[in-house]
Amino acid sequence: MIDAARLRAALDLAREAMDAACRASGRPAGSAELVLAGKYVTAEEAPALVEAGVTVVGENRLQDLQAKQDVLGDAVTFDFIGHLQGRKVKDVLPRVRLIHSVDRDSLIDEIGRRAASTPRVLLQVNLAGEESKGGFAPDAMDRAMERASEAGVVVGGLMALPPFATDPEASRPWFERLRDLRDGLARRWAPEHDLRDLSMGTSQDFVVAVEAGATMVRVGRGIVDSTRMEQP
């Protein structure tokens, strides 16, 4: 089980590092938000998240989202950060603040059809053209923005997963590329789409991501696993 005190201490250290990275990049402390990746936490362990001061949980699967909301209610905010099947959009939308992983035209259309009010989402970009990852190609982003406009969906920013690397610095060029892509889209598409958010960076490279402009980082295993109590 998760030790809530250990998790709080680990999160405090992570947020301190994020605040330092914000200041290093010329932004005020608190400009980047920590989203805890919920796939590393069971529903049984979920109450420890509240005790540890977690405010936003990102889920990858609808069933996990439902299970944890049944336990936590509105004690935390939920985002959806995983691959989303079109048939599950209607169930996910009312449960989350934000979908980080809108990766194809058909998903934009389905979100527009199912939303009760104007939805705000992040578009996932496949920066390196990796076959194992979803997302729009960088040169297809203006077409995706147009598709969102037609569907009545507001694009609030971009999300990306750079190619895996053990050295956090290897991710920096990819993060900077996403930031530059976002900045260009913002100039062309404001005020129709606000494009203020960049969801990038995970446990191994979140500090570099914040230095490069991330407004949200998705951390999980690197923090959660270190805070579990040993079972007798």
What is the distance between the alpha carbons of residues 217 and 33, in angstroms, rounded to a whole number?
Answer: 6
pLDDT digit of tens for each residue in the chain (232 aa)? 899 999 999 999 999 999 999 999 999 999 999 999 999 999 999 999 999 999 999 999 999 999 999 999 999 999 999 999 999 999 999 999 999 999 999 999 999 999 999 999 999 999 999 999 999 999 999 999 999 999 999 999 999 999 999 999 999 999 999 999 999 999 999 999 999 999 999 999 999 999 999 999 999 988 888 888 664 4
Task: Confirm whether 121 is domain-assigned.
Answer: yes
Range of the domain at 152: 4-227
Is 51 part of a structural domain of the chain?
yes
Please report whether residue 98 resides in a domain. Answer: yes
What's residue 227's pLDDT? 87
Domain-located, residue 148: yes
CATH (domain of 163): 3.20.20.10
Taking the model in full, what pTM does it have?
0.96
> How many helices (DSSP H) and strands (DSSP E) are in the chain?
9, 8
pLDDT of residue 228: 81
Q: Would residue 99 count as lying in a domain? A: yes
pLDDT given at position 51:
97
225 vs 20, 68, 97, CA distance in Å?
24, 18, 26
Amino acid present at 188: R
Is residue 50, in this structure, part of any structural domain at all? yes
- Cβ of 119: how many Cβ atoms within 10 Å? 21
Structural domain count, the chain: 1
- Whether 232 maps to a domain, the answer reads no
**Is-contact 121 155, C-beta < 8 A?**
yes
Q: Is residue 163 part of a domain?
A: yes
| CA 12 – CA 18 distance, rounded (Å) | 10
Q: Rounded to whole angstroms, how far apart are CA atoms 125 and 211?
A: 19
Place of tokens 């194992």: 132
